Amino acid sequence: MQPPLALVIEFRMPRPKNHYKASGEIKQDAPWFPIVRPDLTKLLRSTEDAMTGIVWHDDSQIVEQNIHRTYSSVEDTGARITVYSITSRSPAHQTSTRMQEWQEGRQSFASIDSHDKAKKAMASKASASVDR
């Protein structure tokens, strides 16, 4: 996959047996999320390392992550992994590109600021015309 990459992982952990009633239902006071070992950082790190050379060249290509850990039934445990190649250029990216140009001395901070103010003014006018 081509960088930059976004990574979404849901680690689905098995519930301990003491979370269940004798009837098999989950107890009312059973926690929603696993606050036990292994911690989320270790799970993420091992998964990224396992995918290096298979999905990406290096995990430094990942620029955005959404990682969480939940409890699941025994037959539905594991990791649900989605990797996206980030291809769109959002307005936020355009601003960060201007900041990078400023850091490299190719654009003045004043021109970045005036561009952002003009963009906000245009958005404000568009919003006002929709409200009428």
Per-residue pLDDT reduced to its tens digit, 114-125: 666 666 666 666
Q: How many CA atoms lie within 13 A of 87 on its CB side?
A: 5
Provide mean pLDDT across the span 84-95: 67
Q: Which amino acid, one-letter code, is at 29? A: D
Quote the pLDDT of residue 125: 62
What phi and psi, each to the nearest 5 degrees, are found at residue 33? -120, 145
| Separation between Cα atoms, residue 20 and residue 90, nearest integer Å | 46
Q: Pick the more confident residue, 103 or 118.
A: 118
pTM (predicted TM-score): 0.62
| Separation between Cα atoms, residue 52 and residue 104, nearest integer Å | 31
CB-based contact 48:62 (threshold 8 Å): yes
Look at 1-10, 32-41, 116-125 and tell me which has the smallest mean pLDDT: 116-125
